Structure 1
């Protein structure tokens, strides 16, 4: 995966100075330097078979790369139509590039650049909802996949149930042909296929939800039932929603990243994505309408994703969130910077250790090796994965990443001090003020509610922790558990008294190790 030598780069850049204002596109592919990998197939012969909702950086660095591999291997009917539910930024950037973009894979050894061609078209859902519904209702569409983040499902994370009072759900029930939400679009398209006698597409969630396939199926059934009980029953009986586990670190692309990639290409790419070498996709093999030959591109097809999903949520995502909140409070901008502090690296490992005893993995699973690989990936200095970015939408993430482990450990009679400190980090973060009194730009669906609670409680752990634990959309009934309340309140008091660095240093690991 080595990068080209410096002499080759200088030679290419010098010879292409006059072309520096070129834009990446089908027409400019043959002007790319030889070390840049490009689509190994005729894009004009590829038909779309997948509609993807939420065409952000993660999808373009993960699932779209897998499909690009399969198109290179000879598939012709699994191209992607990507839709943004709200913003037009992706379409504005990719449309002039014929939907081509660069994946820059960074490691300590250098950066590999690859052009991805599997996205054939982009749409903005709210600009033309009828067009997107028609695309999804087309019999050629056999899979509708999603990376819309936890909040895009319009559900209550603690229960996994549809939030029927969510503003977008209320709107979509009143305006079924002009929806705003992902459930609204999916059900509208399924209703049209049902009316036309067309078999349903498979709904493939690729988000970090607990039992994401079961969760999205339940949400769709509940939403459809509110539209029509018959439609709800049809979806329950006919629509497949396989569960998945996805894994690849994809930081937010910065202006400096765009400039570096464009310089490497010798032409402008307005919307590249930055990622790491590691990638993993585990999929429940349940596709009645057909699917790509995923295994050919390294996807692991299994009968039950649940153990792998729990492993990832409770080891990777939980430790990532813990590093994000506590690292941000300690003044670290990125995860890699946080990991240079041995105290935080040890704490991340402690989160994994405590979670490991709650997992039931298939025989032969190497949890110690997986944990070690995560620590190495977090420390990758070539990735600038901002703590602030990972800290977003914590109210949606805590139940799956941290609270489930805490419940299981308490059931086993084990302490929860490690995870309590991570939860306390979230509580301290959502007050909106850091340890130096500087404002924190808290991005969360219930940020206003959390800020109001923090303002009333003040920076007093004995008031703030119980008040936040009473937020039922995050903690549910678990928030009433006296063992949880005691552990989190104590951890928050230590965090407020000592600061993040000293609180992490004072932390002591549990006895069990992986």
Structure 2
């Protein structure tokens, strides 16, 4: 598309130009970021169109931070377009969906009464969440009486208790939670934290029993690369659409959603019956380990390395021979040996990922992947490292990825590719900047490791081992530059693996 939008002929995208269907709000969604909107919401829209679902979505902005996309979505009455591009049967495919199922966009921290009205709606049956890897966390002494509590698990505990009282403990008022956060056992962990908050706040055994029996929590695994707002193509896209859509989301055609747990969820979200790439299984763990380690683990390794090499996107980064060699060795010698299950299936998935990284239709910004990079590395790459250590192997490419993350986080966001906004846990950022300025880099990196909480206090040996390995690589990057440090790393012969981690 080379057309440039004539803004004088574009229609506004809102309820004045599009007749939205009158749908009951069945789904409460925590997180209105581009991923859920191009993934879950797009699938709900397609299922509605196919006649297998009749569901509206209420999007909840769960934090009090400003959100441009949420504001734009409110201004457009919840309407937006999803553009998916990829290759199918060796032919380019482009799918455009106008999402019309978003019924409300509400800020939990600024519109609490409206938020409460939504979560007490008897039509609501499902809660979908993507609060990022930093969202499902335990916050001590979070006030459940606050309007709302600070953390996502405390918000859920509070809304469930309010709903429990509002409906007099009716089992039919229970909710099904489908978590999309890229952490292990995402919904299972949320359930544990909700019950822990209930116990700490003395909400009563009747309520706890209702959570256990009337509510279901479904671990899920999501897979679609969604680079986000296509600012470089927005004029052409708007010209094609005929609407001044300021909240377009662009993503890859490929998608997969694996949802586990109680089979009741398939009746509540029958997305597979619309031919959508959704699979319902009792246990998502085998899929999770393969996907998180191979796809997301490579993302967390290549993004900081690419930024330090002066790249801006995934495609640009993987096109560099040294990065391609880095990823190939990372996969063969460190990631794949730790992926349980069928080796051939894991290798086939890895080959598929390599093709997806070079999708010519995607512009996946490295700076977007770097959002909350420290917690992402812990969820995606730390398990690979620990499995390798457990098998008696080192994992120098995995630790190099962390070293690159620390250099990026400690540099204030300035790289050859330009200014990048660093967004991570403030305590981690402070520790990283102190570490890079410290006289003893090992001590500084160890402080970062301690601040992250990756290891329990009793696990001093592994924390120190990680700090020493990463500090050495950070020092080399700072001294010689990322390109030389990467070249040095690849010049060392790879140690062959003699088996897979069970």
Q: Give TM-score scaled by structure 2 length.
A: 0.86
Counterpart in the other structure of 1:38: none
Counterpart in the other structure of 1:81: 58
* In structure 2, distance between residues paired with 1:442 and 1:339: 22
SS in 1 for 2:178: strand
1:220 aligns with 2:194: yes
* In structure 2, distance between residues paired with 1:64 and 1:454: 42
Q: What whole-Å deviation, never above 9, does each CA across 1:433-475 have from its counterpart, x for those lacking one?
A: 55779876321113443245225415x6444433323335244
- Tell me if the contact between 1:54 and 1:147 (Cα under 8 Å) persists in the aligned partners: yes
- Please identify, of 352-361 and 312-321, the stretch whose mean Cα deviation from structure 2 is larger: 352-361
1:22 aligns with 2:5: no
- Tell me if the contact between 1:149 and 1:207 (Cα under 8 Å) persists in the aligned partners: yes
Q: CA, structure 1 residues 82+228, in 2 after alignment: closer, same or farther (shift >3 Å)?
A: same
SS in 2 for 1:60: helix
SS in 2 for 1:470: helix
- Tell me if the contact between 1:495 and 1:503 (Cα under 8 Å) persists in the aligned partners: yes
Counterpart in the other structure of 2:424: 444
Q: CA deviation at 1:476?
A: 4.1
Unpaired segments ≥5 residues, structure 2? none
Counterpart in the other structure of 1:374: 353
- Residues 114-133 of structure 1: pairs in structure 2 closer than 5 A: 114-133=97-116
SS in 2 for 1:152: coil
Counterpart in the other structure of 1:205: 179
Counterpart in the other structure of 1:480: 461
SS in 1 for 2:229: coil
- Residues 41-440 of structure 1: pairs in structure 2 closer than 5 A: 43-85=20-62, 86=64, 87=66, 89-107=68-86, 109=92, 111-153=94-136, 155=137, 162-164=138-140, 169=142, 172-175=143-146, 177-195=147-165, 196=167, 197-199=169-171, 200-230=174-204, 231-286=207-262, 288=264, 290-296=267-273, 297-353=276-332, 354-361=334-341, 363=342, 366-433=345-412
- Please identify, of 266-275 and 88-97, the stretch whose mean Cα deviation from structure 2 is larger: 88-97
* In structure 2, distance between residues paired with 1:436 and 1:205: 36
- Tell me if the contact between 2:318 and 2:358 (Cα under 8 Å) persists in the aligned partners: yes
Unpaired segments ≥5 residues, structure 1? 30-41, 156-161
SS in 2 for 1:151: coil
Q: CA deviation at 1:45?
A: 4.4
* In structure 2, distance between residues paired with 1:479 and 1:500: 29
* In structure 2, distance between residues paired with 1:287 and 1:93: 36
* In structure 1, distance between residues paired with 2:227 and 2:45: 21
* In structure 2, distance between residues paired with 1:389 and 1:259: 22
- Tell me if the contact between 2:145 and 2:158 (Cα under 8 Å) persists in the aligned partners: no
Q: CA deviation at 1:335?
A: 1.2
SS in 1 for 2:116: helix
Counterpart in the other structure of 1:32: none
* In structure 2, distance between residues paired with 1:55 and 1:274: 15
Q: What whole-Å deviation, never above 9, does each CA across 1:288-311 have from its counterpart, x for those lacking one?
A: 475121322220111110111111
Counterpart in the other structure of 1:158: none
- Tell me if the contact between 2:293 and 2:335 (Cα under 8 Å) persists in the aligned partners: yes
Q: CA, structure 1 residues 435+57, in 2 after alignment: closer, same or farther (shift >3 Å)?
A: closer
SS in 1 for 2:259: strand
Q: What whole-Å deviation, never above 9, does each CA across 1:126-184 have from its counterpart, x for those lacking one?
A: 2221222232222211111101112222x2xxxxxx1215xxx3xx3342x43344323
* In structure 2, distance between residues paired with 1:349 and 1:426: 19
- Residues 480-499 of structure 1: pairs in structure 2 closer than 5 A: 480-481=461-462, 482-499=464-481
* In structure 2, distance between residues paired with 1:501 and 1:408: 28
Q: CA deviation at 1:503?
A: 2.2
SS in 1 for 2:54: coil
Q: CA, structure 1 residues 438+468, in 2 after alignment: closer, same or farther (shift >3 Å)?
A: farther
- Tell me if the contact between 1:211 and 1:309 (Cα under 8 Å) persists in the aligned partners: no
- CA RMSD, aligned part only? 2.9
Q: CA deviation at 1:358?
A: 1.6
- Tell me if the contact between 2:144 and 2:158 (Cα under 8 Å) persists in the aligned partners: no
Counterpart in the other structure of 2:496: 511
SS in 2 for 1:114: strand
Q: CA deviation at 1:60?
A: 0.6
Counterpart in the other structure of 1:159: none
Q: CA, structure 1 residues 343+119, in 2 after alignment: closer, same or farther (shift >3 Å)?
A: same
Q: CA, structure 1 residues 221+271, in 2 after alignment: closer, same or farther (shift >3 Å)?
A: same
Q: What whole-Å deviation, never above 9, does each CA across 1:37-72 have from its counterpart, x for those lacking one?
A: xxxxx8524322111011110001001111112111
- Please identify, of 203-212 and 88-97, the stretch whose mean Cα deviation from structure 2 is larger: 88-97
* In structure 1, distance between residues paired with 2:96 and 2:21: 23
- Please identify, of 232-241 and 388-397, the stretch whose mean Cα deviation from structure 2 is larger: 232-241
* In structure 1, distance between residues paired with 2:263 and 2:468: 46
SS in 1 for 2:398: helix
* In structure 2, distance between residues paired with 1:350 and 1:364: 16
SS in 1 for 2:447: helix
